[in-house]
Amino acid sequence: MSYPLIHLEQTDSTNRYLTSLCDERHDNVEPFTTVLADYQSAGKGQRGNSWESEAGANLTFSFVLYPSFLSAKRQFVISQIVSLGIVNALRKYVDEGISVKWPNDIYYHDKKICGMLVEVYLKGMNLGRCICGIGLNVNQEVFLSDAPNPVSLCTIIGRKVDRMVLLQDVMGEIQSLYSKLMGGEDTMEKEIPYSYFQSLYRREGFHRYKDNNGEFQAKLLKVESDGRLLLEDDAQNQRSYLFKEIQYII
């Protein structure tokens, strides 16, 4: 599948660049228009974090969607299809160990290979513009920041990867899932949530977590359609969390 590509040598943030472009053109920017930067000076991550990326080594890019067919309360499904698209693409290179750490980080075993930031704009009761920013570690071998657990595709498989081929793989997978999402309610209600759950990090067994009351052991029960994480602790109490309300202890 094809998509319009704007390839920049450097920008502060691909999300900010694409947001400005959409604003200037009053959203007359083709869906899946992608802004790729060889280097971001101020890449944006979740919780306001920055994203470390060696110039020319990785994939730092953003693309735009206009999923007006989705109600505002179903916006989490966009994170789900983008996460699954990246997982599906990476699994062409890595046999096992790739998963989604709720809500939308991509992990290789206990190490982070990809992060994303999905910025959603509402249009009445439905979704309007969605800008999805992705930072995917591809060929970087040394990480200098204090991020606790980074890993790259190169260090996993022991060879360099063509970034543009990988970008084509990722975007193709996301476009395919988005087409399915547009195809009907059954896909949104069943197929995508099931695939997302099956791809989750720590999907089986009890693991350590931390909330405002301290650490505890729990197992994963489900992810609600609004993105809430539902756990069951070792005392058989169910616990429900929104993003930022819980931490994984790794």
Per-residue pLDDT of the chain (250 residues; tens, 9 = 90+): 789 999 999 999 999 999 999 999 999 999 999 999 999 987 655 444 555 678 899 999 999 999 999 999 999 999 999 999 999 999 999 999 999 999 999 999 999 999 999 999 999 999 999 999 999 999 999 887 767 799 999 999 999 999 999 999 999 999 999 999 998 767 777 899 999 999 999 999 999 999 999 999 999 999 999 999 999 999 999 999 999 999 999 9
Q: Which fold has domain 5-198?
A: BirA Bifunctional Protein; domain 2 (3.30.930)
The strand pairing partners of 26, in sequence order, are none
0.85 exceeded by the pTM? yes
Q: At what angle do helices 163-183 and 76-90 cross, to 10 degrees?
A: 140
- Identify the pLDDT of residue 52: 62
pLDDT of residue 44: 55
The SS3 call for residue 76 is: helix
Integer Cα distance of 35 and 9 in angstroms: 11
The CATH number of 206-248 is 2.30.30
What are the residue ranges spanned by the domains of the chain?
A: 5-198, 206-248
Instruction: Write the burial class of residue 167 (CB in 10 Å: 0-12 exposed, 13-18 middle, 19+ buried).
Output: buried
